Amino acid sequence: MATEFALSPERYEDQVAINRLEHFLFTNLIMDKILASPSPRVVNVSSDGHRLSPIRWADYNVREGETVSLAEKLGSKGLRYHSPRPGTIPTTNLANDLDFTVLLSNVQALDKSLSNEQGWRQSLSTKTAEQGATNIAYAAFEPSLRDTTADWRTHGRTL
């Protein structure tokens, strides 16, 4: 996160390649195995950082709000999809290149300029790495989620 500009070997910007394209490719390469499992489920860990971009991931094709998701395409085959976010965890290596003393006010200003609700909050809510892992483990293993699908970013679900 927040690394120097670089391109992947395939000539895509590194962050897009690592955080989007590789997940998409890997999931598609193993989809037959996933669908063959007794309880097919895909869990993609998301980030709240997507809000800091003018790209609206919930409607990246700008098709009058219509979105197409993995669960909509393969839900009839039993696939369930979850996209939990761990939260803001300043103690991981992801933040090594960031100066939080400067970053927080800049992020708040950017949130305001993009009309994100976080721009008007008084403080940033953080979690420990263990707390952040809870949503991911829950999404991957909780038996009660076998019949549900949710993008936890847009549905506001956190533990």
Query: DSSP readout, 64-116?
Result: TT----HHHHHGGGT-EEE-----B-TTSGGGTT--HHHHHHHHHHHHHHTT-
- Residue with token string 């991931």: 57
The neighbour count for residue 51, using CB atoms within 10 Å, is: 19
Run of H or E including 43 = strand 41-43
Distance between CA atoms of residues 26 and 23, nearest Å: 5
Q: What is the pLDDT of residue 78?
A: 87
What is the value of pTM for the model shown?
0.69
Per-residue pLDDT of 86-132, as tens digits, reads 877 777 776 677 776 677 777 778 878 877 777 777 766 778 889 88
Q: What is the pLDDT of residue 55?
A: 63
Amino acid letter for position 28 = N
Per-residue pLDDT of 37-73, as tens digits, reads 988 999 888 776 666 666 655 555 545 544 557 778 8
